[in-house]
Chain A
C-alpha cells in the first residue's frame, strides 16, 4: 500500500511538472548607453517575462535569465568587446549598436539575420516604420530590428533671433521655410554674423557645431547636394563639388568669426552647457539633446528658448535634410540555435509599442513604430510628438556599406584640415579623394 502511494505521488508529481524545463541565459550588451537608456536592457527583461508566460500557457517551462551590461569604455571599447567576444565564441546573445556595424559584422559572421527566427509580417514588427526596418537590413536580409529612432535637428536660440528682428510668427514658420529651401545655410551664416556683430553672442558662438565626428557632418554634405550611396549600384559616392562647398561653408564660418577655428575637440560638457544656456545663436544636435538640455543643463523653458528645424539646404543642388542614426538590436551567432531563436523572439517582443515608448520617452528618442503615437505616454510628450512630425518624415540614414566607416573618417579629417586652416578646401578635398580612391577602389563613385 505504502509503495503504491509512493508511486502515485511520483506519478502525480511528474504530471505536475511540465514535460520540458528549459533554462536559458540571454546576455544583452548595449553600446553608447547612459543611465536614461536603461530600457534598452530592461525591455528585454520584460520581454523575457512575457515569453516565459506564453510558454507556461503552452505547458512548457521556460526560464530565461537576462543579464545586461552597458558600462563600456566608449564606442571603441564596446565594439572591441563584441568582436573579440564573437571571435572567442562567447559573444553576448543580443547587442544594441549602431546600424553601421551590420555590414562588417554580417560579413564576418558575428551576427545572424533576425528574419531567420521571427515573422516580419506579424505584430509587432509590421508596425515598425518601413524606412527604419530598411536601415537594419543589408544585402537583401533583415539583420536587426531598430531599437530607437532619433533625428538630428538644427537649433536656434529664440532670444537672439528676436533681437535679429524675427517675430514669434517668423520663428514658428521657420521649420516650414527651411523645409521648403527658402532659408538656407548661407542665410543662417548671415544671421549668425549679424548676431556676433551686434554682440548678441560672443565671437565664435554664432554657429556652434558638433565637436567631434559623427553622422551630423554627412548632413551638411547632403545640404550641398552630396549623396552618400548610389542606389543603383550600392557603391559609395564622393561628390567633389558638394564636398568642396561643404568644406568652404565651414571655412567661411570661421573667417566670418561666427565659428571658432579650434572648435573641433571642445569638451562635450562645455558644449552642452553653452548651447543650453543661450551662449550660441545657431547649432545642431540630436533629438536626445532635449533630455540633456532640460535635465542636467537645467533649461526649464525649452520651447520658449529654443527652436528647431531640419538642417537647412546649402545651395540649389542640396536639400534640407536630417539623418537618423538608429541603434539596432542584433542577434549574434551562437553554437546553440535555440539561444538565437529565443534572443530573436525577445527582440521582437521588446519592439512592442508600449515597451518601446518607455525607452523613447525616458531617453528623449523617437518612436520606431506608428502605433506609439496613439499611446498616452508618447502623445503627451510635446517634444516627441513635434520632433516626430517635423523631422522623421524627412530623415534618411547613412548607408550600410562595409567601407562607410573609412569614408566617414576621411571626410571628417578633410573637413578638420580645411576648418583649422591647414589646407584650403580644394586641397583637402583632393587629398580625401586620393585617399578614398586608394582605399575603396572600385567601391567608390567619384562625381
Chain B
C-alpha cells in the first residue's frame, strides 16, 4: 500500500467511522432486534432465571410436566427439622427450640407470614428487621420468586428440589427472564389487520406529500426565477422558514390555525360555517393538513435546489427563445423543464426515502389520529417500541416494523440508482474531454 492510498484512507476515515456508527450499526442492530422478543420486561442486556407464581400456569404449555409443576408450587416457607437446624446454627439453639414449640411443622405462604411467626419469639426476640428477614430466609423451601443470576445456580436449585432431569431443560428455558431469538414478530406483523392499513397509509403519505413537495418546490423556483433578484431572495427566504423553525413550534402554529377556536374557524364563522377542528375532523381533513405541513417543509428544499439549477441554465437560451417569440409558459415548458430532469429526479428519490421514515410532524400534529387513519408505518414503529402508557415497550416488534422500512429503503435506493443512471451522472462533462 503506498503513501497516497494511506493518506486517502486517512482522509476518508472520519466519514467511514460515521457511516459505520450512524448507518451500519443501527441497521445491524435493527436486524438483530427484529428477530428477538425484546421488550421492557425482558430487559436489553440479558436476563436471569426466575419462576414466579404467575409462571406456574404457563409451565405446562412450555413443556414442563404437571408433577414437576406441583413440586414447584406449594408453601414457600416451612418450619421443619432441616430448616430449624439452619436457624439454630445462626440464631442459637434456644430460639430454635422456642420456635419449634410455637410453630413446629407449620408452613407459610409468604415471607410476611414467616416474619410474623418469628415475631412470636418471646424469650430472646430477634429485634432488628434486618436480622428477622435473614432468619426468615433460612426457612424458605420454595424457589418461587427467587432470582438466580446464572443458569448453573438455577439448575442447582431445581435439582435440590428434586425436579426430574427430563423437565429441567424446559423449566430452565421457561425461567429465563431475558430475550430470546424468535421469528414471531414477523408472523405477528403478517397476521395483524392494522399492518396493512399502516402500509397503505405510508404509501398514501409518501405519494401525496412527494407530489406536493416537488410540484410546489418547482412552482416556487420557477416563479421566483422571473422576479428581480432581491425580491426573489426575499420570497425564498420566507418560504424557507418552515424548514428552519423548530418542528414543535411549527406544528403548534398549524394547531392554532386549525383548532375549532382557531384562526380558520374564526374567519369562516361570519360566513355561517360551523367551527370544526380542521385538522382532525375527518381522515380527509387530517391527510390534507399532514400533506401541507410536511409539504411546506419539503418544498423549501426543492425550491433551493431547483432555483440554483435554473440559474445554471445559460440566460442566452432564454433570450434566443424570446427572439423566436416564445412566451413565458413556452420558455418554461420547452427550455427550462427539459434541463431540470436531474434535479427533479434527485429531489424525488431523496424525498421518497426521507418521507418513508419520517413521522415527527405527524406525531406532533395528529399522533396518527383520528382513529389510526394517519398512522404511518414509521409512526407505528415508534409507538410500538418507544411509547406505551402501560409501560411495556416492545423493542423487538418495533424493530421488525423498522426493518421492513430499511428493506424497502434499500430496494428503492437500488431502483433509483438504476433509474438515475448514476454512472452517467458522475461521468466527466463531455465538453471538457
Does A354 sit within 8 A of B, measured CB to CB? no
A-B CB pair tally, cutoff 8 Å = 161
**Whole-angstrom distance between the alpha carbons of A224 and B115 in the complex?**
42
Q: A262-B277, A439-B188 are in contact. Are A416 and B53 (CB under 8 A)?
A: no
A406-444 vs B, Cβ < 8 Å mask (1 yes, 0 no): 111100010011111111000000010011001100100
A109 and B129 within 8 A (CB): no
A-B contact pairs, 9 of them (CB 8 A): A107-B41, A109-B43, A141-B110, A213-B389, A403-B392, A421-B371, A422-B373, A434-B193, A442-B61
The answer, among B52, B57, B372, for a CB contact under 8 Å with A416, is: B372
Chain A residues with CB under 8 Å of chain B are 75-76, 79-80, 83, 87, 98, 100-101, 103-105, 107-110, 115-122, 139-142, 213-214, 233-234, 260-262, 264-267, 270, 341, 402-409, 413, 416-423, 431, 434-435, 438-439, 442
Minimum CB–CB distance from A267 to chain B (whole Å) comes to 7
Minimum CB–CB distance from A370 to chain B (whole Å) comes to 19
Does B143 sit within 8 A of A, measured CB to CB? no
Residues of A within 8 A of B194 (CB): 431, 435
The answer, among B145, B192, B390, for a CB contact under 8 Å with A100, is: B390
Residues of A within 8 A of B177 (CB): 107-109
B370-412 vs A, Cβ < 8 Å mask (1 yes, 0 no): 1111000000000100111111111000000000000000000
Chain B contacts with A in 191-240, Cβ cutoff 8 A: 191-194
B259 and A267 within 8 A (CB): yes
Task: Select from chain A the residue with minimum beta-carbon distance to B390.
Answer: A405
B42 and A438 within 8 A (CB): no
**Whole-angstrom distance between the alpha carbons of A434 and B43 in the complex?**
27
**Whole-angstrom distance between the alpha carbons of A403 and B191 in the complex?**
19
Chain B contacts with A in 42-76, Cβ cutoff 8 A: 42-45, 47-48, 52-54, 57-58, 61
Chain B interface residue count: which class?
35 or more
Most chain A CB inside 10 Å of its own CB: which residue of B52, B277, B281, B391 = B391
A140 and B53 within 8 A (CB): yes
A405 and B389 within 8 A (CB): yes
Does B344 sit within 8 A of A, measured CB to CB? no
Residues of A within 8 A of B259 (CB): 267, 270
B112 and A438 within 8 A (CB): no
The answer, among B110, B192, B366, for a CB contact under 8 Å with A265, is: B366
Given contacts A139-B145, A431-B194, 20 further A-B contacts (CB under 8 A): A79-B391, A83-B393, A87-B44, A103-B41, A108-B40, A108-B41, A109-B43, A110-B43, A115-B111, A117-B133, A119-B115, A141-B110, A214-B389, A261-B281, A262-B370, A265-B366, A405-B390, A406-B394, A435-B192, A442-B61
Task: Select from chain A the residue with minimum beta-carbon distance to B278.
Answer: A262
Most chain A CB inside 10 Å of its own CB: which residue of B39, B40, B48, B366 = B40
Top 7 A-B pairs, shortest CB-CB distance? A405-B390, A417-B371, A422-B371, A420-B370, A108-B43, A104-B40, A420-B371
B112 and A121 within 8 A (CB): yes
Residues of B within 8 A of A261 (CB): 281
Most chain B CB inside 10 Å of its own CB: which residue of A117, A140, A439, A442 = A140
Does B369 sit within 8 A of A, measured CB to CB? yes
Does B249 sit within 8 A of A, measured CB to CB? no
Task: Select from chain A the residue with minimum beta-carbon distance to B76.
Answer: A140
Most chain B CB inside 10 Å of its own CB: which residue of A75, A79, A418 = A79
B371 and A416 within 8 A (CB): yes
A406 and B390 within 8 A (CB): yes
